[in-house]
Chain A
Amino acid sequence: MQFDARPALNVFDADPAQDAVLISSESNQTSHTISETLLSKSLIPKQPSYFFKTLVLDVDSRAAKLNRFASLNKNRLLSTASEFIANIDFFVDFDKEYKTQQDGEFYFARKALLPSCSIHKQYGSNLIVVNSVHGSQVSQVGNTQKINLSKIYYNNTYWNLVCALVSTADSIRFDYVAYARNQSFKTKINFTFESYI
């Protein structure tokens, strides 16, 4: 079978659901499959999957000895051949009258957004990169690491929002989400994942 003897196909004329595809591999085997089967395999760009998670901090987790966490379990979510990006948004509801005008932009708003955070892992890598207002942090898949998610300015001081990032090849978990030094702000946290597994 001579490839050079074949006419070239205009790719826009192909019908993935009907056309059979013949493959010549390095091992000199010529094989066939339906185009759509090939398109769904892992070595080509994949169909994205989307996931939401929400978490509410309504009391001081550490003072109450609670573990406020969000987790996502999905087969091969963090495998080397997968990639994902997660955007995390933080909504604070100031339900206490403890603020002063020195607290800046939060003085007028009762519900406010904190600086958001993004987390991603690239295809072929086992490193999870966290980008937040604190800068860039890197964690390895399979490890547990304290990370800074965001921060809030209150009473002339910044209070960090932190958690422990726990990961396996099939799951990612944000453990012990809390403000530093036992501070408490009612906060809703929305996680949006876009993954290519």
Chain B
Amino acid sequence: MPQSITDLPTLDSYDANTTLLLIEHEANLYKIRSSLFLNTLKIQSEYINAQHASVTIQPSTLSFSRQHILDINSSFIATFDFSEKAKLPSATLIKNAGDNFCKLLTFEGIQDLVIGETSDPINLSVYTTQDSRETYIEGSITLAESLDDLINVSGLKLISTSTSPSLSLAYCCAKIKGLAVNSD
């Protein structure tokens, strides 16, 4: 075993499954299997969750809450799948590491959402019939940084632009997957 410590020349030849790490922690030197160390810390920051809501003309709410999920180095993808008898257009919300904003993709296109603000009502999905009965599913998205960061869809409801709605009830299945990295 070598006695000297030098900078690692390259990480390409490093195998986390076969090497040990020595960690200087609180003035003591510990050993730990590399893969255990790396994977455990990764798992600590992973966040996966799901929500379900019925959507009617009465407003309902969906929300995800997790520490640091809106921090600058965090990333996530949240999908909002809508359905009734048939599948309706989905909405997808993403945040990348290094970004201080989110992007929302709906059937209408892509828009940026500012962290720390609540959006105006957004059309998240739609169902239109051949006889021009049209109903939108709308909601306002809040991205709030707090002790537990919040991704909240409020005012989730059906809005009909015709006298007779094309939908009276729909469902939303929401999923989120991300890495919540503490940037403090």
Chain A residues engaging chain B, CB cutoff 8 angstroms: 1-4, 6-9, 11-16, 19-33, 35, 38-39, 41-45, 47-50, 52, 54, 89, 91, 94, 99, 105, 107-113, 188, 190, 192, 194
Task: Say which residue of B13, B41, B44, B126 sits within 8 Å of A25 (CB atoms).
Answer: B13
CA distance A91 to B82 in the complex (A): 14
Asked whether B42 lies within 8 Å of A44 as measured between CB atoms, the reply is yes
Q: Which residues of A contact B181 (CB under 8 A)?
A: 47
Asked whether B86 lies within 8 Å of A3 as measured between CB atoms, the reply is no
Q: Which residues of B contact A26 (CB under 8 A)?
A: 13, 15, 18
Say whether, besides A6-B31, A25-B19, A113-B86, A50 and B5 are in contact (CB < 8 Å): no
Asked whether A91 lies within 8 Å of B107 as measured between CB atoms, the reply is yes
Q: Which residue on B lies nearest to A56, using beta carbons?
A: B109
How far, in Å, is A166 (CB) from chain B's closest CB? 23
**Chain B CB within 10 Å, residue with most, of A4, A27, A47, A52:** A47
Q: How many interface residues does B have (CB within 8 Å)? A: 63
CA distance A47 to B46 in the complex (A): 10
Chain B residues engaging chain A, CB cutoff 8 angstroms: 1-9, 11-16, 18-25, 28-32, 34, 36-42, 44, 73, 75, 77, 86-90, 92, 94-97, 103, 105, 107, 109-110, 126-130, 132, 179, 181
How far, in Å, is B172 (CB) from chain A's closest CB? 15
Asked whether B13 lies within 8 Å of A27 as measured between CB atoms, the reply is yes
Q: Which residue on B lies nearest to A31, using beta carbons?
A: B8
CA distance A27 to B9 in the complex (A): 11
Interface of A is mostly: mixed
CA distance A169 to B13 in the complex (A): 22
CA distance A98 to B117 in the complex (A): 45
CA distance A28 to B19 in the complex (A): 11
Q: Which residues of A contact B40 (CB under 8 A)?
A: 11-12
CA distance A42 to B10 in the complex (A): 11
Q: Which residues of A contact B130 (CB under 8 A)?
A: 94, 99, 107-110
Q: Which residues of B contact A31 (CB under 8 A)?
A: 5-9
How far, in Å, is A41 (CB) from chain B's closest CB? 5
Asked whether B21 lies within 8 Å of A23 as measured between CB atoms, the reply is yes
Q: Which residues of A contact B13 (CB under 8 A)?
A: 25-27
Q: List 5 A-B contacts (CB under 8 A).
A: A2-B1, A8-B32, A43-B12, A110-B132, A113-B88
Q: Which residues of A contact B77 (CB under 8 A)?
A: 48, 50, 192, 194
How far, in Å, is B46 (CB) from chain A's closest CB? 9
